[in-house]
Each structure stands twice: as structure tokens, then as C-alpha cells.
A = this chain, B = another copy of it.
């Protein structure tokens, strides 16, 4: 794509809609990325019609912070989606979390809305469930889904079941009104989420309005589920059934865009919020291919994600990119496509990927791997330096909690927090994608590379202004006892007395 084509879509940019598929799936879960059962024909076709990103990352090895990062274009340590309760701890937004997305953060849908976009979130919001954090207060026009993970069933005494919202109000609760059979894994939620997407796209096409559809569904997150039609159809068991249903749904959404004749005006991106949760494997956990460990860790298995960009007529079919990308780039790239400037009053970590996508350029930029308040590692080019290593504590490990099942790299997958800040562990991810062979500290390659990386890290740390941490305080009183709309349904529950405490984040 030359400059002419670039200016062509620039002139059309107000007509570019966005679809983002953002869910939990590991790098190795797609046929296109080497899953041996090869059961994702639609995602594989999306890749062959679009561009595969092989070096794409999420902003955090856990869901809430990654989602906040995607929508703000900023690292969780800036947008507040982290904790300072203890060193280097992953944190998210369970039901008793007090915090959430701050009003001072500018979200992608807020910015797009000003440019005439209609924005819908389908699925898990996960940026806080108290009234001030409601997605419709942060730029979305429509919502169908839940504020938290679909855990449960809860007893509605100690823990209420998670509500499902349509727009401003709840319309039921998981397990009560939206069934998930924990024994068989059966639930028809993905079918509902699919229909919501198809309907929204049809409506926007009819009214000729540009849109942003954020399809953030949760079928591959434990408790994993699939609808009856897909149950038992995968070689991979229940998790594979869920993947197959998602794959099928994404195929239907893309075909719908084509049928409506708007696929060339819709930029679609597929990626994941963290690596596969190996702790839930094999029944409820996916695959990070040959990468080390999984969700919760800052090894490649925790943060390197499958990623596909699709935009027929613009992105060359069958493209492959080694651009180091990050979910935060979707913020900046979408703004660029919409002809909007990113906010100038704050640090934005996402970059505009269009030169990589449309012109095959490689933009030099680092990837930072954070766990809570600590920068654990950084990738520059093909090199990755670990400043801290940790899988999880011996105490947890002895209870059977293992983020790296079957994997053990001496001195790397450590069960104590190991500091390497004076002499980082350095890996070459081209020769050693599995992070098994640290470079010799004495080698020229180590010296040369660490000089280069140190400059990047110093600059990053010198300019870092952490946001107010939002994930420090928990209180049972803030749980989903009485969400808006509960009265009409007779589903209001009585909250206990407020008793705010430091949240406990074990890993």
C-alpha cells in the first residue's frame, strides 16, 4: 500500500467502523498458530484474508488491567488498574473491589462518540461494577453483558450471583436467569452474544452510522461453557468446544459484515487479554503453544497473544507481521483510522499500527511486562530482559497452584520473587522463544544488548507517573447486591455493612 492508498482511506476515514474481538485465548489455541487439532477454520481464514501478528502482546497477564489498557491506550500502572498492597501482585476487579475506571481516564468509546460513532460492548466489562464505573458512563452507548467474571453459582448471602446488564439495568443474574451447567459446561451465552453482535451491526448499517463493537465474551474463561450444538464436538474437550463456538461466531460476524457490504469499511481485530490459564488445563484451560507458563506470569505464555487484523480491500490477504504490538495500540490505531488525535495531556503507551498493517513497516518500540506495580521484564527487538522473575509462591505451589504445569526452567520459573535488576536475565526470543536459555552474562551479546535495553528502561522509569491504584481496597458491601433494575425483577439483595479492607492478592 503506497501513500495514495493511504490518503484514500484517510479521506474515507469517517466511514471506518471498528470491531474488536477481545477474549481469553492462548497463542497456541488457533490452528493458524499451530494448535494440533486445528479446529479454528474461521479464525484461520480471518488470518489468511488479513494479517497475522506473531509478536503481539497484552498489557498485563490478567483480565481487568488488560481491558483497561486496551480502552485507555495506557499501561495499567498509569490508568490505575494495579495494586500497591504488596510487591508485584496481579489484581483485578472481583465483586468486592471498591475501585474501577477513573473518570479522569479517557476511553476509546468516549473519544469515538464525539466523532459520531455508536459504541457497544458485548460481554465482560471488568473495569469496575459500581455505578460510577458503568460502561455507559464511559462512552459506550449500549451494553449487553456482565460487569465481572461469570463465576458462581453463589449463594446470594455471602456472594450474590453476577448480574447481566442490558444497557443501564440488570436483566437477570448468572446461574439464576442465565444458566451455566457447571457439570456439563452447557450454556447458550455465546449464541446470545453472537445475536447481539449481528443485530447491532445490522442496525448500524441500516442507519449508516460508524460504530465500535467491542465483543468481549467469556466462554473460554473458567467456568468454561459452550452451547449444546457445540458440546462434545472438539477433540480438545470442553475448552475446545468453547473455542469452536467462538470461532464459529466470529466467522458469522465477519460474513455478516460482508453480506451487508460494509466489510471494507470495518477494521476488525482479534486478540486476547492474557495467555491461556494453564492452571485450569486441561478441561478448562487452553494452550500457549511452546511459550513458557501462562496467565498470571510475565513469561511469554502469560502475555504473548494470538492477534489478527482483518480489513478486506485494505490489508493485504495472508500478511504476516513481526511488529511488536500491544492491545493498547488498538486505542491509538482506531483513533488514527477515525481521523482523531490521541489525547495530548497524558502519556499514551499505544502506538498507531497502520504503518505496520498497511505498509509493512516495522516500528521500533519496547514491550513492558508488568505484574502489578513492578516492571518485571522488557522486550526490545528480539531480546527480552527479566528484571524480576516469579511464577507463584511456594505456599501456593504446594497447594497445587501451578502457572507453569510441566515446565520448569531453573532460575527462571522461580517460586520466590527473584530480583535481577543489577544483572537481568536476557533471552533471545528468536532463537529461544521458550525462555529456556539465558544468555551468558559474560558474552559480548549480553553486554551490547543490555546497554541498549538499559537506556529504554531508564527512560521508561524516569518518566513514569503511576496512577492512583484502584485495586487496593475491597469491601463486601459493594458487591452486586442491588444493581440498577433489580427492583423490577425482584432481585435486590441486602448488602452487609461496609467494612473496607486491603484486598488480598496472593500472586
Give complex CA distance A38, B48 in Å: 14
Least distance between A165 CB and chain B CB atoms (Å):
34
Give complex CA distance A118, B34 in Å: 37
Asked if A407 is at the interface (CB within 8 A of a chain B CB), the reply is yes
Q: Contact check, B431 vs A236: say whether CB atoms are below 8 A apart.
A: yes
Asked if A153 is at the interface (CB within 8 A of a chain B CB), the reply is no
The chain B residue sitting closest to A278, CB to CB, is B436
Give complex CA distance A95, B257 in Å: 64
Least distance between A207 CB and chain B CB atoms (Å):
38
A residues 248-288 in Cβ contact with B at 8 Å: 281-283, 287-288
Give complex CA distance A433, B240 in Å: 13
Given known A408-B406, A436-B405, contact A28–B290 (CB-CB < 8 A): yes
Question: Which residues of the other chain, B, contact A33 by a CB distance below 8 angstroms?
Answer: 34
Q: Contact check, A234 vs B430: say whether CB atoms are below 8 A apart.
A: yes
Question: Which residues of the other chain, B, contact A239 by a CB distance below 8 angstroms?
Answer: 431
Q: Contact check, A282 vs B431: say whether CB atoms are below 8 A apart.
A: yes
Q: Contact check, B382 vs A235: say whether CB atoms are below 8 A apart.
A: yes
**Chain B proximity mask over A139-155: 1 for CB below 8 Å, otherwise 0:** 00000000000000000
Give complex CA distance A33, B432 in Å: 17
Asked if A374 is at the interface (CB within 8 A of a chain B CB), the reply is no
Question: Which residues of the other chain, B, contact A37 by a CB distance below 8 angstroms?
Answer: 54, 322, 430, 433
Asked if A35 is at the interface (CB within 8 A of a chain B CB), the reply is yes
A residues 212-259 in Cβ contact with B at 8 Å: 234-237, 239-240
Q: Contact check, B34 vs A28: say whether CB atoms are below 8 A apart.
A: yes
Give complex CA distance A204, B26 in Å: 48
The chain B residue sitting closest to A437, CB to CB, is B282
Q: Contact check, B237 vs A430: say whether CB atoms are below 8 A apart.
A: yes
Asked if A409 is at the interface (CB within 8 A of a chain B CB), the reply is yes
A residues near B, CB below 8 A?
Answer: 28, 33-38, 52, 54-55, 234-237, 239-240, 281-283, 287-290, 292, 320, 322, 382, 405-409, 428-434, 436-437
Instruction: Provide 22 A-B residue pairs closer than 8 Å at the C-beta atoms, listed in order of the A residue.
Output: A33-B34, A34-B34, A36-B55, A36-B289, A36-B290, A36-B433, A37-B430, A234-B430, A235-B322, A235-B382, A237-B428, A239-B431, A240-B430, A282-B428, A288-B290, A289-B289, A289-B290, A292-B406, A405-B436, A406-B436, A407-B407, A407-B408
